[in-house]
Amino acid sequence: MRYPVPSEHFDIEVAYAKPEEQVILTVTAEPGMTVQQAVERSRIAERFPEIDPASAKYGVFGKAAKGDAPLHPGDRVEIYRPLIADPKEARKKRAAEGKQLKKGGGES
């Protein structure tokens, strides 16, 4: 995919969601700005102190991205929260309890 080469500044979004609150902030970026720099510029950690920009997991439009990944015009940076439960452990627990996942969600 080719991106237009930005000549000066461009907008990107920084998104973070908790079960009870979702926030999307617009940040003005310049060519070469990275994911982590955008998160720091958004000052979202002031609103959500649990975010540590140095160790947080990020994505751009749902695809994992490193903090040093460069941004392009219109990108949406997503800050991911840690999982509450390990999916593998949850499957093991269901299996131990004799529960099975049903495909299609309908009655058998």
Q: Where are the domains of the chain?
A: 10-88
Cα–Cα distance, 23 to 37 (Å, whole number): 18
Residue 53 is predicted with a pLDDT of 83
Q: Which helix (H) or strand (E) holds 90?
A: helix 87-96
Residue 107 is predicted with a pLDDT of 53
Percent of the chain whose predicted confidence (pLDDT) is above 70: 81
Counts of helices then strands in the chain (DSSP H, E): 3, 5
Residue 65 is predicted with a pLDDT of 95
pTM: 0.70
Residue 47 is predicted with a pLDDT of 93
Cα–Cα distance, 43 to 51 (Å, whole number): 10
For the stretch 78-104, pLDDT in tens is: 999 876 667 777 777 778 877 555 565
Q: How wide is the angle at C-alpha 45 spanned by C-alphas 44 and 48, nearest 5°?
A: 90
Residue 108 is predicted with a pLDDT of 47
Percent of the chain whose predicted confidence (pLDDT) is above 90: 58
Cα–Cα distance, 88 to 66 (Å, whole number): 24
pLDDT < 70: residue spans in the chain: 1-7, 83-85, 99-108
What class is the 10-88 domain?
alpha beta
